[in-house]
Amino acid sequence: MTISQVAFLFPGQGSQTVGMGKDLAEKFPIARQTFKEADEALGYALSKLCFDGPEDQLRLTEITQPAILTASVAAWRVLDEKGMQAAFVAGHSLGEYSAHVAAGTIAFADAVRAVRNRGRYMQEAVPVGVGAMAAILGMDLEKVAAICSEAAQAEVCEPANINSAEQIVISGHKNAVERAAKLASDRGAKRAVLLPVSAPFHCSLMKPAQDRLEADLQSLQFQNPAVPVACNVDAELINDAERSCDALVRQVTGAVKWEPSMRLLIASGVQAFIEVGPGKVLCGLMRQIDRSKTCLNVSDDVCKTIDQLAGTKV
C-alpha cells in the first residue's frame, strides 16, 4: 500500500480513558517526551491524569481535550518515527487539532494550550443544565434537520455531528433537544438517545466560546499544512495556514461534517484509515460509512498496527 492511499484520523472528546498513553510512554521515548512537553506547556501533570486518573477529573472538558490531543500526538509521533506516513489527515472535532499538529500547521505546545482554553470556553459558554445533545440513529440528515427546526420553538436545536448515515448528533437548548429526540422516535428513528455531555457542543449556543477562542488562535503562528487536512466545518481539504485557523474557529459553532469528510478522502483515493489515539470510535463510524475500507487503530500497540497495514492488500 502506498502513502497516497493512507489517511490518519484523530479522535475527539469521548474517547478518553484512564490509562491512555501509559504503555506507549513506557515503550517509546518519543511518546514519553510528548507527555512531558504537555505537562510543561500546561503547568500541571496532565500525564499523571492520563495514566492514573481519577476518571472524574479526566472527564472535565478542559482536561479531556488536551489529554486526548496529547495521547493522539504521542501515538502519531511513534508512527512517524517508524516511518509510517499518510497522504491526508483528519480529526473529529477536537481531533482536528491533532491532525494539524501531525500536518505541521501548529506547534504541539500551542495546540495543547489552545485546546485547554477551548474546553474551558465551551464549558463556560452555557450554564450546566441549560444545554443538551442527543444521538439520532437510523434517520437521514434531511429529516433530522427538519425535526430540529420544528422542535426549536424559538430555542436552539441544530444538527451538530453528521457522523454517518446511521448516526446524527443534535445539540442545543435542553428542552428543544428533548422535544426533537421524542419527535425523531415518533417518526421512525431507530433510537434517539440523550448523551451524557457537559455542554451543547457544535451549535450556535457556543458563539461566546468561539469568539474567545478566535482571539487565542489568531495570536498563534500557523504554517501551511505539509499534507492536506480534511476540515470538519466544510468537509473540504485545506492546504494553507489562514484557512486552517479559520476552520478551527468556525468549527466551535459549526457541525462536524464527518461522513462528508470521509467520503471526500475516499474519493481522493484513500483505501486505509488509521485511527491514531485512544478508542475505536472512528473505526466504528468508518464501518457505517464504507465497510470496504481498511480501518486500523493505534493507541498502544503501534508495531502491530504497522504490521497489519503492511499485510493489507489493496
b/e per residue, 71-94, with b = 16+ CB within 10 A? bbbbbbbbbbeeebebbbbbbbbb
Cα–Cα distance measured from residue 176 to residue 33, given in angstroms and rounded to the nearest whole number = 45
Cα–Cα distance measured from residue 181 to residue 174, given in angstroms and rounded to the nearest whole number = 11
Which grid cell sits at 281?
Answer: 470510535
* Domains contained in the chain, CATH given: 3-125+205-310 (3.40.366.10), 131-197 (3.30.70.250)
Cα–Cα distance measured from residue 22 to residue 283, given in angstroms and rounded to the nearest whole number = 22
Of 15-29, 279-293, 297-311, where does mean pLDDT reach its minimum?
297-311
Output the pLDDT for position 174.
Answer: 97
Cα–Cα distance measured from residue 97 to residue 106, given in angstroms and rounded to the nearest whole number = 8
Average confidence (pLDDT) over 83-104:
97
Closest CA to 64 of 31, 105, 112, 96: 112
Using 50, 70 and 90 to split pLDDT, how confident is the model at 298?
Answer: confident
Average confidence (pLDDT) over 182-189:
97
Cα–Cα distance measured from residue 140 to residue 275, given in angstroms and rounded to the nearest whole number = 25
Residues annotated as catalytic (active site), given as ranges? 93, 202
Which grid cell sits at 142?
Answer: 434531511
Model pLDDT for residues 216-241, shown as the tens digit of each residue: 999 999 999 999 999 999 999 999 99
Cα–Cα distance measured from residue 152 to residue 109, given in angstroms and rounded to the nearest whole number = 40
At 224, the amino acid letter reads N
Cα–Cα distance measured from residue 91 to residue 72, given in angstroms and rounded to the nearest whole number = 10
Model pLDDT for residues 36-90, shown as the tens digit of each residue: 999 999 999 999 999 999 999 998 899 999 999 999 999 999 999 989 999 999 9
Output the pLDDT for position 2.
Answer: 67
b/e per residue, 36-55, with b = 16+ CB within 10 A? ebbbebbeeebbebbbeeee
Using 50, 70 and 90 to split pLDDT, how confident is the model at 314?
Answer: very low
Q: How many alpha carbons lie under 13 Å from residue 8 in its C-beta half-sphere?
A: 32
Residue at grid coordinates 492514573: 52
